[in-house]
Amino acid sequence: MNQLLDRAQQLFPYTQRIRRDLHRFPELGFQEHRTSGVIARELENLGLEVTTGIAETGVVAQIESRHPEPVLMMRFDMDALPVVEETNAEYASQNPGVMHACGHDGHVAIGLTVAHLLKEMRNELNGTVRLIFQPAEEGLDGARRMIAEGALGETTPKFALGAHVWNEKPVGWLGVTPGPMMAAAEIFEVEITGRGGHGALPNLAIDPVNAAAQIVVALNAIVARNVSPLQSAVVSVTSIRGGETFNVIPPKMRLQGTIRTFEPEVRSIVLERFEQIVNGVAASAGCEANIDLKSLTPAVVNDAGVAQQVMNSARMILPDSTILSDFRTMGSEDMAFFLNEVPGCYIFVGSANPAKKLDAPHHHPKFDFDEAALTLAAALLTGAAVDLLS
Ligand SMILES: [Zn+2]
Ligand SMILES: [Zn+2]
């Protein structure tokens, strides 16, 4: 299998060229027209049949072997973020205000490299690999739309794989975690209505500012008092707005924030307590609360069996890597929707290199990573696919 790593390394100039080209021309979710064109062109150059225009800019192609089944799907996201790049890299964004600050340019490059490797290894393949290039991962519902528009194909895949370059960890590190590994994300907006009045006559008003402040503090009790100390959750109020000036009590206040959980039981306790606390505290202040709670993504849950097989493949293909099997993050990812449909494994691939100053966090204007991670990811995904299908 180490031939696979060698071959992936030979393809590095290609991988790097694709990644840097996409990095120069980043596109926001559902607007990835140029990106989509690059993907389709490269896949067609390999002689693959390509379907474009799924969920606007999504692209799907299949590597087929003598055995049509089972099918294994791999998903690569392709959107950039509204961030002004500050890396000074020679391949920095030429699209002002838009930047590949999460590494999805790298994910596309990994996907196209995997296509090359699998095409060459077709004779060793006992099934079909379906490559899914997905738009709009960054909170825009791209995965759900891809699935709704038929990205999974006629034969539902038996396995799903995907990977994210991960700058919290150095290149050479892998996170392959069975079970929940990225959080379910909800976003909330709360409107607190009181009665406005003069700042000097609070007794004649019903003060929503005071109510909002008490709600923010009271919400901390959920994680502290309702979630088991051995489990995790986050309740973050990230915006509190209302009022214009010092002597007017405003009639309304607005809170916004996010809730993150892993286990469905914890999620329902947190959501239930959230509503009780917001409504209860608002009522105790004489105000009314209106809660708008939206689920963004479910938790990313890896299938234990598939994760174990990926771990075995990783030890063979990347024997020098450090593999962690219990790494989890409160970040969220819409790969969760694919993994709800198909048992699979989402892999974190360490990509930081502090010595080269390539270690800024994801979504930061100086985000950049060690491109060696792309080769490791491509070799691992290819090898794991061949192993899972055999
Ligand atoms: Zn991101
Ligand atoms: Zn991302």
Characterize the bridge pairing of strands 159-170 and 71-77: parallel
How far, in Å, from the CA of 36 to the mean position of ligand 2?
A: 17
Residues 100 and 221 reside in one and the same domain: no
Q: Quick one: DSSP state of residue 124? A: G
Among 278, 297, 316, which residue terminates a domain?
297
pLDDT digits (tens, 9 = 90+) for 319-359: 999 999 999 999 999 999 999 999 999 999 999 999 999 99
How far, in Å, from the CA of 296 to the mean position of ligand 1?
A: 14
Query: Which regions of the chain does DSSP assign to beta strands (E)?
Result: 50-54, 58-63, 71-77, 128-134, 159-170, 173-175, 179-182, 184-193, 197-198, 233-241, 248-249, 252-261, 288-297, 300-302, 322-324, 344-352
Query: Is residue 72 within 8 Å of residue 65, measured between CB atoms?
Result: no
How far, in Å, from the CA of 250 to the mean position of ligand 2?
A: 39
Can you give the CATH number for the domain in which 162 is found? Answer: 3.40.630.10
Q: Specify burial of residue 229 (Cβ count, 10 A radius: 0-12, 13-18, 19+).
A: exposed
| pLDDT attached to residue 2 | 76
Residues 218 and 352 reside in one and the same domain: no
Residues 39 and 106 reside in one and the same domain: yes
Residues 277 and 315 reside in one and the same domain: no
Residue 362: C-alpha distances to residues 103, 130, 139, 286, 322 (Å): 8, 28, 15, 42, 21
Residues 168 and 222 reside in one and the same domain: no
Residues 293 and 303 reside in one and the same domain: no
CA distance from start to end of the chain = 14
How far, in Å, from the CA of 78 to the mean position of ligand 1?
A: 11
How far, in Å, from the CA of 39 to the mean position of ligand 2?
A: 18
Find the ligand nearest to 164 CA: 2
How far, in Å, from the CA of 196 to the mean position of ligand 1?
A: 40
Distance, in Å, from the CA atom of 5 to the CA atom of 386, rounded to the nearest integer, reads 14
Per-residue pLDDT of the chain (390 residues; tens, 9 = 90+): 479 999 999 999 999 999 999 999 999 999 999 999 999 999 999 999 999 999 999 999 999 999 999 999 999 999 999 999 999 999 999 999 999 999 999 999 999 999 999 999 999 999 999 999 999 999 899 999 999 999 999 999 999 999 999 999 999 999 999 999 999 999 999 999 999 999 999 999 999 999 999 999 999 999 999 999 999 999 999 999 999 999 999 999 999 999 999 999 999 999 999 999 999 999 999 999 999 999 999 999 999 999 999 999 999 999 999 999 999 999 999 999 999 999 999 999 999 999 999 999 999 999 999 999 999 999 999 999 999 999
**Could you give phi then psi for residue 216, rounded to 5 degrees?**
-55, -45
How far, in Å, from the CA of 108 to the mean position of ligand 2?
A: 12
Residues 311 and 292 reside in one and the same domain: no
Residues 304 and 293 reside in one and the same domain: no
Residues 227 and 282 reside in one and the same domain: yes
How far, in Å, from the CA of 229 to the mean position of ligand 2?
A: 29
Query: Is residue 74 within 8 Å of residue 161, measured between CB atoms?
Result: yes
| pLDDT attached to residue 388 | 97
How far, in Å, from the CA of 245 to the mean position of ligand 2?
A: 40
Find the ligand nearest to 335 CA: 2
**What mean pLDDT value characterizes the chain?**
97
How far, in Å, from the CA of 363 to the mean position of ligand 1?
A: 6
pLDDT digits (tens, 9 = 90+) for 172-208: 999 999 999 999 999 999 999 999 999 999 999 999 9
Distance, in Å, from the CA atom of 83 to the CA atom of 364, rounded to the nearest integer, reads 8
Find the ligand nearest to 82 CA: 1
How far, in Å, from the CA of 198 to the mean position of ligand 2?
A: 47
How far, in Å, from the CA of 263 to the mean position of ligand 1?
A: 22
Distance, in Å, from the CA atom of 222 to the CA atom of 273, rounded to the nearest integer, reads 7
Distance, in Å, from the CA atom of 348 to the CA atom of 219, rounded to the nearest integer, reads 32
Find the ligand nearest to 105 CA: 2
Can you give the CATH number for the domain in which 203 is found? Answer: 3.30.70.360
What residues make up the domain containing 272?
184-297
Count of domains in the chain?
2
How far, in Å, from the CA of 276 to the mean position of ligand 1?
A: 32
Residues 235 and 264 reside in one and the same domain: yes
